[in-house]
Structure 1
């Protein structure tokens, strides 16, 4: 369950049955569809990069999409689309916070 106070929601590429979600590029496809939703709205060429509000990543070997709550505030229908995608496909979701990678040691 996702709370209304969540800052980020992780949509995981694992179903509630524990199966890996297919197709394997689902996260890239979802983020591609969401690329137009970004701070300042769509700009020329913005379809060529992911929105900072909907980013694909891999966590512990599982493909995920991190959906930022700023999307909910700016474009509620886009937020609903992303979360309904997860629900419709029986994907696991978690409230969490994506932390930046630590600086590399020299």
Structure 2
């Protein structure tokens, strides 16, 4: 019988949605890609590689949720680089963007 080990690491994520608290769409339209581009250098040790600058960080990545541009932020960023984590959170607060605690699940095709 196979033995399964329960992971002690819990993937905690939150979404920054491109909608202000009063329901308006945030501009510019490429805000999520810009924010994630700035954060692309923050990644797990050893995962850089020669073309790392061409991809988003696994801790801060753009997505679209229910037709709304969003950014998925993994809270492990806080441990890796607290200032970067606070930069992302303060970006959302300063621009009055909605923050939702959640966890992004993989598509059925990739499971």
1:36 Cα deviation after fit: 0.3
How many residue pairs get aligned? The number is 100
Measured in 2, the distance between the counterparts of 1:61 and 1:100 equals 17
Query: Considering only CA atoms, is the larger Rg found in Structure 1 or Structure 2?
Result: 2
TM-score w.r.t. the length of structure 1 is 0.88
What residue number does 1:18 align with?
23
Among candidates 67, 89, 98, match of residue 92 of structure 1: 98
Among candidates 35, 43, 62, match of residue 38 of structure 1: 43
Among candidates 27, 34, 39, match of residue 29 of structure 1: 34
1:6 Cα deviation after fit: 7.9
Unaligned runs of 5+ in 2: 1-9
What is the Cα-based RMSD across aligned positions, in Å?
A: 1.8
1:50-89 equivalence runs, <5 A: 50-89=56-95
